[in-house]
């Protein structure tokens, strides 16, 4: 019996010893993990704090968890007074209105994982704000916001577009003088000229006209980039604009011996448009089609009503766009490899301008093309908002 007891005691002690060792091991592991975690945290914080982009992490109650030095500067606050505060309190005042709109866009939260927008803080800062919604399977975890300072880029951009705009305007004056002089000489206002002189001057006149239209293109592009291109959007009829463009292009089509057929149905719904700009977009597409279609070719134009939009199509039997150029066709100053060789005039600004116009209307533009067969360009414009019966009355 005694022996048994001793045995029992020994095994108990043995067990306890083993537990102790195991516990010590666990503690050691935990400590190790804690050290690792602290280490990782320090690393992460070092990265965050030394990034030139600003980082702001909000928990799901919109309270500030992490704020990096650039963001503290953007908000003109001290770090200590910011951490733990609700973000709404920190963004009071007119200066932060745009930023607030972005951060509290609940609609975006529901539908998107991340999005990027531009926001200015008063007059002093232009920021590119990337918002990332952190979620796991169970719930929202908060929001990560990355601020990229684009103030300087914006300033340079503004100066650039202003320069182009002034330059374009100043260039028009001497070109007007050339145009008027040539025209007056050609019209016989300064006396008779020989057939040879006439021929040369006519060609000079055409060159000058080309220059004037190039400057118009540049002017449009600079305005697009200033973001003040869309002047007046109101419910209008796309078919009317398209018909006006077709009418004014008759001479060009006749010259190029191109047959144009149109399929424009009656009773299309209204679309929200800036007529002048849509005119420009359609004109660019039609001019392209005419320029890059060999004599005797054909162009089809059609309009079609879809559920939420009207779709415009222009299809030609022209030279097409080489496969390798498809990706770059809408970029500024880009011209297709095959058309550069054709000696046709072109600034490389037409499609760039057109896409910007369509995008500004919240529309879409796309194309299908086969080299040697032809090209079809499409764009869609959303229908004008239906007025409710109350608004009508």
Partner 1 sequence: MFKKILLIEDDKFLRELMNKKLLLMGYDVVSAADGESGLVMIKESKPDVVLLDLILPGINGFEVLEKAKKDPETANIPVIILSNLGQSEDIEKGLKLGAKDFLVKAHFTPQEIINKLKAILD
What residues make contact with partner 1 under the rule CB under 8 A?
A: 169, 172-173, 175-177, 179-181, 183-184, 187, 189, 212, 215, 223, 231-232, 276
Residue placing its CB nearer to partner 1 in the complex, 132 or 212: 212
> Minimum Å distance from CB 270 to partner 1?
21
Q: How far is the CB of 70 from partner 1 (least distance, A)?
A: 37
How far, in whole angstroms, is CA 302 from its chain's centroid?
A: 27
User: Burial, 177: exposed, middle or buried (Cβ in 10 Å; 0-12, 13-18, 19+)?
Assistant: exposed
Of 189 and 295, the one with the shorter C-beta distance to partner 1 is 189
Which C-beta is closer to partner 1: that of 48 or that of 212?
Answer: 212
User: What is the spatial distance between Cα 20 and Cα 16, in angstroms, rounded to a whole number?
Assistant: 6
Q: 3-state DSSP call for residue 299?
A: strand
Beta bridge mates, 313: 302, 378
Smallest gap from residue 276 Cβ to partner 1 (A): 6
Residues in the chain: 393
Q: Hey, which residues does 309 pair with through a beta bridge?
A: 382
Alpha-carbon Rg of the chain, whole angstroms? 33
Q: How far is the CB of 212 from partner 1 (least distance, A)?
A: 5
Measuring CA to CA, which residue among 198, 213, 274 is closest to residue 238? 274
**CB-based burial of residue 139 (10 Å sphere; 0-12 exposed, 13-18 middle, 19+ buried)?**
exposed
The contacts of residue 67 (CB under 8 Å, 6+ apart) are 55, 56, 57, 79, 82, 83
Cβ proximity to partner 1, 235 vs 269, nearer residue: 235
Comparing CB distances to partner 1, the nearer of 113 and 184 is 184
The answer to whether residues 271 and 383 touch, using CB atoms and an 8 Å cutoff, is yes
> Closest approach of Cβ 370 to partner 1, in Å?
37
Considering beta carbons, is residue 34 or 169 the nearer one to partner 1?
169
Shortest Å, Cβ 236 to partner 1: 15
Nearer to partner 1, 95 or 209 (CB): 209
CA distances from 329 to 129, 288, 336, 349 (A): 29, 12, 7, 10
Minimum CB distance to partner 1, residue 145 (Å): 36
- Spell out the SS3 assignment of 208-262: HHHHHHHHHHHHHHHHHHHCCCCCCCEEECHHHHHHHHHHHCHHHHHHCCCEEEE
Q: How far is the CB of 89 from partner 1 (least distance, A)?
A: 40
Closer of 7 and 176 to partner 1 (Cβ): 176
């Amino acid at each position: 019996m005694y022996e048994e007891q001793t045995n029992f005691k020994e095994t108990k002690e043995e067990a306890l010893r083993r537990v102790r060792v195991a516990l010590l091991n666990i503690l050691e592991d935990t400590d190790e993990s804690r050290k690792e975690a602290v280490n990782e945290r320090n690393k992460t914080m070092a990265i965050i704090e030394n990034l030139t982009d600003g980082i702001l992490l909000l928990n799901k109650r919109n309270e500030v968890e992490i704020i990096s030095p650039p963001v503290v500067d953007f908000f003109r606050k001290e770090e200590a007074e910011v951490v733990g505060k609700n973000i709404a309190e920190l963004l009071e005042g007119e200066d932060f209105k745009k930023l607030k709109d972005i951060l509290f866009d609940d609609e975006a939260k529901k539908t998107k994982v991340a999005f990027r927008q531009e926001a200015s803080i008063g007059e002093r800062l232009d920021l590119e704000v990337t918002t990332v919604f952190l979620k796991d399977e169970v719930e929202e975890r908060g929001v990560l916001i990355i601020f990229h300072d684009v103030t300087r880029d914006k300033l340079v951009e503004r100066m650039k577009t202003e320069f182009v705009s002034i330059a374009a305007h100043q260039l028009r004056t001497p070109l007007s003088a050339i145009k008027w002089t040539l025209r007056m000489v050609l019209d016989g206002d300064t006396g008779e000229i020989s057939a040879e002189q006439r021929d040369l001057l006519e060609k000079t006149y055409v060159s000058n006209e080309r220059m004037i239209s190039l400057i118009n293109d540049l002017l449009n592009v600079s305005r697009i980039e200033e973001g003040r291109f869309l002047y007046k959007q109101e419910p209008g009829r796309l078919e009317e604009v398209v018909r006006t463009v077709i009418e004014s292009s008759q001479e060009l089509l006749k010259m190029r011996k191109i047959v144009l057929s149109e399929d424009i149905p009656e009773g299309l719904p209204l679309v929200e448009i800036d007529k002048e700009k849509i005119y420009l977009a359609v004109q660019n597409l039609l001019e392209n089609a005419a320029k890059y279609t060999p004599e005797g070719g054909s162009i089809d134009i059609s309009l079609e009503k879809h559920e939420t939009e009207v779709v415009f199509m222009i299809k030609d039997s022209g030279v097409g766009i080489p496969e390798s150029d498809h990706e770059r066709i809408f970029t500024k100053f880009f011209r297709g490899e095959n058309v550069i060789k054709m000696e046709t005039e072109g600034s490389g600004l037409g499609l760039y301008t057109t896409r910007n116009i369509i995008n500004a209307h919240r529309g879409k533009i796309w194309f299908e093309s086969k080299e040697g067969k032809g090209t079809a360009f499409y764009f869609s414009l959303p229908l004008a908002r239906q007025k409710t019966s109350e608004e009508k009355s």
